[in-house]
Structure 1
């Protein structure tokens, strides 16, 4: 199942379109979720008797519009909707982690950004960071701005354990979409490497970086032989390299540890940086 959060914004519409397309490709149902958060209105000196019904009515309108977008986009998919009470970040994360009692977490969670209120924020809403840092499912953050189809997916590759689930997700997406997969590893010498008294064989360093990418990619190529993979190593900061690559991509995939209640804080500087600066959709994938 794919879960998508909506709030009536243009970014949410873009997220629904993305989620509907992926639901068709993955052959899974789509659940559209709207969170009703009463907490901003629960102030003692202000009457709130009329707010609950008004908020629920608005929520049902938002869901009806989003469901119509999804069904118009992909008539074959199974679409359900839910209005749930609570802070949007918590509601969406719980829906992601318990999408299906039989199979566990959702296949994917989709959130729009650059919208207003609810699931979106001014640049990268706190909801996006919170869910990406804590949800057990891959979290896709979709930009509201139109983006031409490039037929390419970029995945960040490094030597961390978080790289493996990110690679697996990227290969699956490339296979489903028929896209080229660009496996990108960006590296920088440590500060002490520039000390004149320490000698470095730069050719050897570069060869080691290429071997790292090759070893990571090789195992996945056996499972997805139909995917055209381009391996690339750059001497650059990973955020800069992945941000530049995103200009010619449909999706950038990064791994994340996302630990515990501080998941949004511990999302990782690279994951957070890419989420803020990428020009296309970004998928944050953590190990289950």
Structure 2
């Protein structure tokens, strides 16, 4: 069974697999993040405002784990498809190996602004992440490279918010990956606590999300839903994140309603 045929291909980033990019540096950064007490404290604390206080979908450690995995898998598939990235390439001193580091760091830190407030959280994430990056990047880069990497990571964090347009494909990957965490498990806690907002209800309708190499596109995103309410996640959230991401020409999205009963309102959506 090939790498792209394994059950977790397109869902879980495995540092031990062969990738379409130099992965030694990003794997070292992932190890660093997993053992950094301050980073882990933020990931623990950032769910209080969105989930406990606002009964919104998960934005804690589980969400970050899913987004980072999807982002790195998406990046890998795009690289396999020959897509050229520009975030690191536009800078003197940065290399191809730094592209995945930008993606991994931004995916990890993009939601830490939730410790301040759910509303406008991307803007609160910027100063908090900037302080962390000063320390995290110093282990791998000299001062010139640190400044450039810090700017690229902060750009990707800011642009996961649909109000800001990504100027790099690394930022586009993080933006789209954020919306790919839409499966029903994400809304379990707020749903059980009585949350019935459209984000929570629509998440309950999404069964699985998988990424694979497409025939005509570098990436095929397949979404299985059990209820027409899932259309909100696909059309209003994922489509909104894909628009202006820079990746529109490289990703195809197919959503299927798997419910067997007749009179389905929606059977198939293609974007």
**Structure 1 length normalisation: TM-score?**
0.27
* Structure of larger gyration radius: 1
Q: By percentage of residues, which structure has more strand?
A: 1
**Structure 2 length normalisation: TM-score?**
0.28
